[in-house]
Amino acid sequence: MPFYFSKLLRLRKKNEFNRLKKGDGKLVFDQFVLVSKKAELSIPRLGIIVSKKVSKKACIRNQYKRVIRESFRLKANTLKPVDYLVIVRHNLTHDKYHLRQSLDKAWQRYSE
């Protein structure tokens, strides 16, 4: 699997997100909730939800999405073929380092 974040690795449609919201597994961290469900494809895919409750500024919400995508992109080769949904919580501090550490712990749980 290549190290870029292709369209194959993304959840893009509303019905994919709705299916995942009723997912099998849920890991709750201080900064985000990671929901997972068995994938329809044989590759791991990622969906991200960052609401306006997290920040009114789009640039900050986009920064969080970039951190999450980058973390997933680097670990995608080791992850099980599961669909993942990261829901960023509104009590997130503007500390991207701790967000990245928590994401790495979460991905470790789903590694093969």
Higher pLDDT, 85 or 3: 85
Distance CA 54, CA 35 (A): 18
Model pLDDT for residues 32-73, shown as the tens digit of each residue: 999 998 877 888 999 999 999 988 999 999 999 999 999 998
Residue 66 lies in a domain: yes
Domains of the chain: total: 1
Residue 28 has pLDDT above 80, yes or no: yes
Confidence of residue 112 (pLDDT cuts 50, 70, 90): low
Residue 70: CATH number of its domain: 3.30.230.10
CA dihedral (23, 25, 29, 31) in degrees, to 10, reads -20
Number of Cβ within a 10 Å radius of residue 6: 11
> Looking at the domain assignment, is residue 2 inside a domain?
no
- Look at residue 4 in the predicted model and tell me its pLDDT: 62
Structural domain boundaries, residue 94? 7-109
Instruction: Note the pTM of the prediction, 2 decimals.
Output: 0.88
Tell me the pLDDT tens digit for each residue of 66-104. 999 999 989 888 998 999 999 999 877 767 888 899 999
Indicate whether 30 belongs to any domain: yes
- The answer to whether position 100 is within a domain reads yes
pLDDT at 1 over 60: no
